[in-house]
Amino acid sequence: MKAMILDAPGGLDRLRQVDRPDPGAPGPGMIRVRLHATSLNYHDYGVVTGRMPTEDGRIPMADGAGIVEAVGEGVRDFMAGDAVVSCFFPDWQEGPPRIGDFSRVPGDGIDGYACELVVGPATAFTRAPKGYSHAEAATITTAGLTAWRSLVVDGGLKAGDRVLVLGTGGVSIWALQIARMMGAQVAVTSSSDEKLERARSLGAAHMINYRTHPEWGKLVHDWAGGGVDHVIEVGGPGTLAQSIDAVRIGGHIGLIGVLTGFAGDVPTATLMSKQARLQGLIVGSRRMQMEFVRALDEATFRPVIDRSFALDELADAFRYQESGDHFGKIAVTF
């Protein structure tokens, strides 16, 4: 089977396609999946560029979607022919978080899904949303589930809430779509007026260019009539102060991303006086993914895939992500 591997110490020119042995028949509790798609995340970008060092020869990519070819003894959740999608944390089945690292995350601490075939525990997959293409299904593992957990599981999002999403990347566009599905009003920031128009066509009610309006926090606060209920904070230290300005008293900020860096100043007094909840999170459990898939079965929208690449074009796909030109998700199909 074909697989993409990453030679140490990483870097986009160190991704190469190889032939690996067929993984064989699934043992007890395992399933054999023919993979057809993965999707790119900022985390995967960190791994393949060597900023998050991994083992020599690692198969990258956390997201994987495909069809079950065979099930091992004792597997009850799936049968051959089922469309499935991988879980970001194969060991976090349900309950509160107990994992704070990436040591067992596919494509980082263990091999991921940039390959044609995999045999793995049935508990490392859920079924895919009904009617989804493999590329669409692949986008739920990391970006989709993170947005769902932050807004719905941790945030308790309800109809009529006001939501702010930062930028127009994978997590943020998923969050926009989930918020609209749940009857919330959404403000979006972006560096591009053209992307803001695309966000409007997906139902965004308020659009701000963060380059031309660096004090966007107050603008969002005023639009929401006293602050938003939820912020999808993917920027990190360079955007957090504005996000705190944008949130309402008693509101919720999902601290998700590191696009502007890993550490920085936090206006603690403003956060305290806002009595806002700042919640750090990494993706979610398998149980959360199952509930998310059930919700998506009833939804009428589809995730936004900006562009798809072939497996041996994985490095080009990451170069495209690097350019920042994308809107929503980038997929790789095979």
Ligand X SMILES: NC(=O)c1ccc[n+]([C@@H]2O[C@H](COP(=O)([O-])OP(=O)(O)OC[C@H]3O[C@@H](n4cnc5c(N)ncnc54)[C@H](OP(=O)(O)O)[C@@H]3O)[C@@H](O)[C@H]2O)c1
Q: Which residues bind ligand X (CB under 6 A)?
A: 41-43, 142-143, 146, 166-172, 189-192, 195, 210, 234-235, 238-239, 256-260, 281-283, 321, 324
Question: Which residue is listed with tokens 């985390």?
Answer: 43
Q: Are strands 125-127 and 117-121 parallel, antiparallel or unpaired?
A: unpaired
The answer, yes or no, to whether the previous bond of 9 is cis (omega within 30 of 0) is yes
Nearer to ligand X, 68 or 256 (CB): 256
Closest approach of Cβ 190 to ligand X, in Å?
Answer: 3
Closest approach of Cβ 225 to ligand X, in Å?
Answer: 23
Closest approach of Cβ 53 to ligand X, in Å?
Answer: 16
Closest approach of Cβ 314 to ligand X, in Å?
Answer: 15
Nearer to ligand X, 86 or 122 (CB): 86
Residue 173, token pair as written in the block = 């566009």
Nearer to ligand X, 71 or 179 (CB): 179
Q: Are 260 and 283 in contact (CB under 8 A)?
A: no
Nearer to ligand X, 190 or 333 (CB): 190
Closest approach of Cβ 295 to ligand X, in Å?
Answer: 18
Dist. CA 126–CA 287, nearest whole Å: 9
What 315-321 contacts at long range (C-beta under 8 Å, 24+ apart), as own/partner pairs, is: 315/12, 315/13, 315/15, 315/48, 317/40, 318/12, 318/15, 318/40, 318/44, 318/45, 318/48, 318/49, 319/12, 321/40, 321/42, 321/45
Nearer to ligand X, 32 or 149 (CB): 149
Closest approach of Cβ 1 to ligand X, in Å?
Answer: 27
Closest approach of Cβ 220 to ligand X, in Å?
Answer: 12
Q: Are 228 and 164 in contact (CB under 8 A)?
A: yes
- The count of residues in the chain is 334
Nearer to ligand X, 71 or 232 (CB): 232
Nearer to ligand X, 38 or 41 (CB): 41
**H helices present in the chain, as ranges:** 42-48, 134-138, 145-148, 170-181, 193-201, 216-223, 240-246, 268-274, 286-297, 314-323
Residue 283 CA, distance from chain mean position:
7
Q: Which residue is nearest to ligand X (CB)?
A: 169
